[in-house]
Amino acid sequence: MDELPIGRRVAYWRGRRRMSQQVFADRLGKSKSWVDKVERGVRRLDKFSVLHEIADVLQLDVQLLMGRDPERRTDALNCIDQIEVEEIRAALERYDSMTAFFDAAPCPPPLDEMRKAVSHAWLTYQYARYGVLTRALPKLLRDAQAADAAFSGGDEAHKAAHLLGQVYQIASSTLRKLGEHDLSWLAADRSMAVAQRAGDQLLAGLATFRVGNALLALGRARPALEINVNIANRLAPNAENEATPERLSVYGMLLLQGAMAAARIGDSATVRDLINGAEEAAELLGGDHNYYWTCFGPTNVLLHRASAAVELGEGRQAVETHEAIQPAEFNALLPERRAHHLLDIARGCTQVGDVEKAGAMLLEGDRMAPSEIRCRPLAHEVMSDVLRRTRGAPPAPIAELAEHMGVGV
């Protein structure tokens, strides 16, 4: 990558961010022809100010764009930088289990310690502390892989595989939030294979949920829909599958993720059927719970109703659904869920032209979980939309948040 001409690096990162040349050109305020010439090396990039603008649009360190080692950002407390991405990538590229097939595995950390570390990582994710989590993930991945490689059979092997499967899922969800969709898919795919070795159908169901999430982020909505519905049908409570709280939670989340995929392709009838099915599971569960780290329950179903409405372009319905949620139930949810929902509602508000309320939703989400608003590429897009459509100077709190996010006013 470092040896590539700078135009090729621009093309590479534009592709990683899933932007067309036209979208990229619009965000730069340039023509599509200008972008094409830069990427083909016909036009030179010799102004540092232009390089900074390109790096801002692509959301990466300008040093990385120039083929140099990236410098750690001063705001890395809340977000992720390219050094951390590469450290996570290196950890995902390890194959300790294959090495252990030929040689004795290294001494792994005790499983009790691993279990505590994994639980802490889940809570760190659900409190939307992504900067803390991304710096811990490389070591957590290495330790979990070493533990998994150390046991070849028996109960300890199942426990180690279960923990590794969870770590892969945490990594997948975090990377998806931060726009690293290819790595998110890789981690989710790994979690499916490990879940099978762990012998836990519900863990495999959750791994399917993560794969569906990653596929959706990659623009693969139809396979995301199919895989979620397929596994949900196999896990559905029935005469053979007891309706335990854990099963209801995983089953319900698969239906909700399937509904989000259906919304992405505009299939409103399937969205309605899947969310209604999840609602029935939530009623059986009775209240919002965090079994298998799902945060599933009636309130989360309402959050997904609103989110699906946004994906369908029905912003007004999303806002009405939000307004019908009981504040006590909403406030009882973990910060990531609440801030994620407020970001969805901000998107819905922009769809109906209420940019003032959209800005208010971003501010409220930032108060709950700053990383969910400041670090997510999707939130940057919403803030850009709010700023562009605000008449005159934006309110001071919005301008300040935009500055923290690195979004130009």
CA angle 68, 71, 76 (to 5 degrees): 145
d(CA 279, CA 264): 20
* 90 in the same domain as 64: no
Residue spans of the chain under pLDDT 70: 1-4, 59-63, 67-78, 80-82, 95-107, 409
pLDDT at res. 251: 98
* 13 in the same domain as 101: no
CA angle 251, 211, 116 (to 5 degrees): 75
For residue 365, the surrounding DSSP H or E stretch is: helix 355-368
Is 50 inside a domain boundary? yes
Total domains in the fold of the chain:
2
Is 380 inside a domain boundary? no
d(CA 249, CA 289): 8
* 120 in the same domain as 62: no
* 188 in the same domain as 85: yes
User: Which alpha helices (H) appear in 199-314, and where do they start and end?
Assistant: 201-217, 221-235, 245-264, 268-285, 298-311
* 158 in the same domain as 104: yes
Identify the domain boundary among 194, 213, 242.
194
235 closest CA partner among 258, 264, 218, 265:
258
- Which domain covers residue 5, as residue numbers? 1-71
Give the other-Cβ count within 10 Å of 225's Cβ. 26
* 99 in the same domain as 1: no
DSSP string, 167-189: HHHHHHHHHHHTT-HHHHHHHHH
150 closest CA partner among 119, 189, 105:
105
pLDDT at res. 313: 95
State how far Cα 122 lies from the chain centre: 14
At 105, give phi and psi (nearest 5°): -70, 150
* 81 in the same domain as 58: no
* 80 in the same domain as 37: no
Is 201 inside a domain boundary? no
Q: Are 261 and 222 in contact (CB under 8 A)?
A: yes
pLDDT at res. 114: 93
Is 46 inside a domain boundary? yes
Identify the domain boundary among 152, 179, 194.
194
Is 48 inside a domain boundary? yes
Is 137 inside a domain boundary? yes
Identify the domain boundary among 148, 174, 194.
194
Is 29 inside a domain boundary? yes
CA angle 385, 65, 26 (to 5 degrees): 30
* 78 in the same domain as 189: yes
Enumerate residues 6+ apart whose C-beta is below 8 A from 8.
39, 41
At 70, give phi and psi (nearest 5°): -70, 150
Enumerate residues 6+ apart whose C-beta is below 8 A from 42.
none
Question: Tell me: the pLDDT tens digits for 4-55?
Answer: 688 888 888 888 777 889 988 888 889 999 999 999 888 888 777 788 788 8
Is 391 inside a domain boundary? no
Three-state secondary structure call for residue 61: coil
pTM of the model: 0.79
* 30 in the same domain as 90: no
* 138 in the same domain as 180: yes
Which DSSP letter does residue 408 get? -
CATH number at residue 10: 1.10.260.40
* 52 in the same domain as 91: no
